[in-house]
């Protein structure tokens, strides 16, 4: 098998062409290069690695995230220890406040949120009873509106969810799959962490540095500012791993898969601090942006100035969020069927599989994919070994037969 791969190199240049240098593409590049000694060409049409997790130091010397705040959290020990090979970590538990009724209150809704909004003093039992009294049970929960109203009632739904969701998705929560708001918990204690995961840390020197370490391998060649279309017929490779948009790969044969986009306004202000936590949400439809991020909370950087990002949801632009509606899932399934019937191409990542994934989920998906590739290589090796064994045996038998014939002929 090793021999066959060496010939494959000479024939085709690369074992793998990987499209997209985000988490999906970079984890697979690293695993294939370091784990299976494959030669990998990793391309991205953007001028940088790290995909949407890309961060960099701006003119003020502050580490910012170009595509909005990326907070790392996971319950997967496997994912955390894999990434720990490429970075040290900085403990950080994400906190978010929402600007509601002219004050900043914790979101997800918790005991403090209720106390502040309703001017009450509550125990966790009181908070539970309060929410139960507000909740309006919905017989069949189908939409994002149903989820919230069933849990906390219409009043809190309108204060926190309706406007935010309408801005974020350009759709009313009643038109959106229940998965969107199901992601946000409700708490009756004072826990004000946004995530409950066991591992919540930020890469100490940022995501881009972590990706640089991951891709620092002699078998990996990275080409930036390079679209798949430009090179697909130029480069020679055996297998393709594609983490770009699946509909684009198939020339939008069945139509475009809908995405929601964002415009980011990055700004640095001449003050040391801007807001009490990293992210403040603005649920009101009277405010055009959905949230403001202040990065120094994520990094612990000390600087006399501070950098912010405002997020404005948009219908057009880079594809960020797959729109979770049944008809879109149906359209994706058609592309998935095409993908399944396309040999030597693997689709992966949030664009390749049209799913909103957190970073840790994409890492998990890529590691699982690598295991499948490694197992199938292993099977091929065994198969090849069995074939050569069989060929050797056959040659031996043939040789013996020939000897017999020759011997027989001499009799
Ligand atoms: C605003 C925002 C905030 C987020 N916050 C968080 C968070 O706090 N925590 C969290 O866990 N997750 C967060 N995520 C999700 C996170 O961004 C994704 O999980 C992760 O980026 C997915 O990695 P990926 O490799 O699948 O995709 P991407 O990071 O999008 O990488 C795909 C890459 O492929 C490239 N590409 C596409 N098509 C082509 C082509 N034809 N040719 C060449 N290159 C191509 C793209 O340029 C891109 O760089 C957030 C996402 C967004 C949009």
Ligand 1 closest atom vs CA 249: 41
Residues with CB under 6 A from ligand 1: 19-25, 43-46, 51-53, 67-71, 227-228, 243-244, 262, 320, 349-351, 357-360, 362
Average pLDDT over all residues of the chain: 92
Q: Over the stretch 3-52, which tens digit does the pLDDT of each residue have?
A: 344 334 444 589 999 999 999 999 999 999 999 999 999 999 999 999 99
The domain made up of 1-89+205-257+323-411 is a member of CATH 3.40.50.720: yes
Confidence of residue 406 (pLDDT cuts 50, 70, 90): very low
Question: Once rounded to an integer, what is the mean pLDDT over residues 316-332?
Answer: 94
Cα–Cα distance list, 65 to 62, 115, 313 (Å): 10, 34, 17
CB contact set of 280 (below 8 Å; sequence gap of 6+):
96, 97, 98, 99, 104, 291, 292
pLDDT at position 397, please? 64
Mutate to test the pocket of ligand 1, among 25, 30, 31, 51 (most ligand atoms within 8 A of CB): 51
Q: Hey, what are 187's tokens? A: 């708490």
Instruction: Judge whether residue 63 has pLDDT over 80.
Output: yes
Report the nearest-CA residue for atom 1 of ligand 1: 68
Q: Which atom of ligand 1 is nearest to the CA of 20?
A: 34
pLDDT above 90: residue 89: yes
pLDDT, tens digit, 9 for 90 and up, residues 237-250: 999 999 999 999 99
Domain boundaries, the chain: 1-89+205-257+323-411, 105-182
Contacts of 194 (CB under 8 A, 6+ apart): 71, 94, 95, 96, 107, 108, 279
- Ligand 1 atom at minimum distance from 24 CA: 25
Mean of pLDDT values over 333-338? 98
User: Which of 67, 6, 79 lies closest to 208, judged by CA?
Assistant: 67
Q: Before 377, cis peptide (omega within 30)?
A: no
- Residue of the nearest CA to atom 53 in ligand 1? 320
**Over the stretch 141-184, which tens digit does the pLDDT of each residue have?**
999 999 999 999 999 999 999 999 999 999 999 998 888 888 78
Cα 227 off chain centre by: 20
CA of 17 from ligand 1 middle (Å) equals 18
For the segment 225-272, what is each residue's pLDDT rounded down to a tens digit? 999 999 999 999 999 999 999 999 999 999 999 999 999 999 999 999
């Amino acid at each position: 098998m090793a021999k066959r791969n060496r010939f494959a190199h000479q024939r085709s240049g690369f074992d793998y062409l990987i499209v997209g240098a985000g988490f999906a593409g970079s984890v697979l590049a690293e695993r294939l290069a370091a784990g299976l000694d494959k030669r990998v060409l990793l391309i991205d049409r953007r001028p940088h690695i790290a995909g949407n997790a890309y961060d960099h130091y701006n003119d003020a010397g502050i580490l910012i995230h170009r595509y909005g705040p990326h907070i790392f959290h996971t319950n997967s020990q496997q994912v955390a220890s894999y990434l720990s090979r490429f970075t040290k970590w900085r403990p950080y538990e994400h906190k978010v406040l929402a600007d509601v009724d002219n004050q900043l209150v914790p979101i997800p809704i918790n005991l403090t949120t209720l106390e502040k909004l309703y001017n009450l003093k509550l125990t966790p039992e009181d908070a539970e009873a309060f929410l139960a009294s507000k909740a309006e049970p919905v017989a069949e929960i189908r939409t994002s509106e149903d989820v919230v109203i069933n849990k906390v009632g219409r009043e809190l739904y309108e204060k926190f969810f309706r406007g935010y969701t309408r801005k974020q998705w350009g759709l009313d929560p009643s038109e959106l799959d229940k998965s969107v708001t199901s992601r946000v918990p409700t708490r009756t204690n004072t826990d004000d962490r946004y995530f409950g995961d066991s591992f919540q840390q930020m890469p100490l020197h940022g995501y881009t540095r972590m990706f640089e370490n991951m891709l620092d391998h002699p078998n990996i060649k990275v080409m930036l500012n390079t679209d798949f279309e430009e090179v697909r017929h130029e480069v020679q490779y055996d297998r393709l791993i594609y983490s770009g948009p699946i509909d684009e790969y198939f020339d939008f044969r069945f139509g475009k898969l809908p995405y929601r986009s964002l415009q980011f306004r990055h700004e640095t202000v001449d003050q040391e601090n801007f807001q009490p936590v990293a992210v403040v949400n603005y649920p009101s439809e009277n405010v055009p942006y959905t949230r403001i991020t202040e990065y120094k909370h994520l990094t612990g950087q000390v600087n006399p100035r501070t950098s912010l990002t405002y997020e404005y949801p948009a219908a057009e632009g880079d594809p960020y969020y797959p729109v979770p509606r049944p008809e879109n899932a149906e359209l994706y399934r058609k592309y998935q069927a095409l993908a399944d019937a396309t040999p030597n191409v693997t689709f992966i990542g949030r664009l390749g599989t049209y799913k909103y994934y957190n970073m840790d989920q994409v890492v998990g998906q890529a590691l699982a994919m690598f295991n499948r590739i490694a197992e199938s290589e292993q099977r091929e090796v065994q198969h090849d070994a069995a074939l050569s064994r069989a060929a050797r045996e056959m040659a031996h038998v043939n040789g013996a037969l020939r000897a017999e014939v020759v011997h027989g002929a001499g009799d």
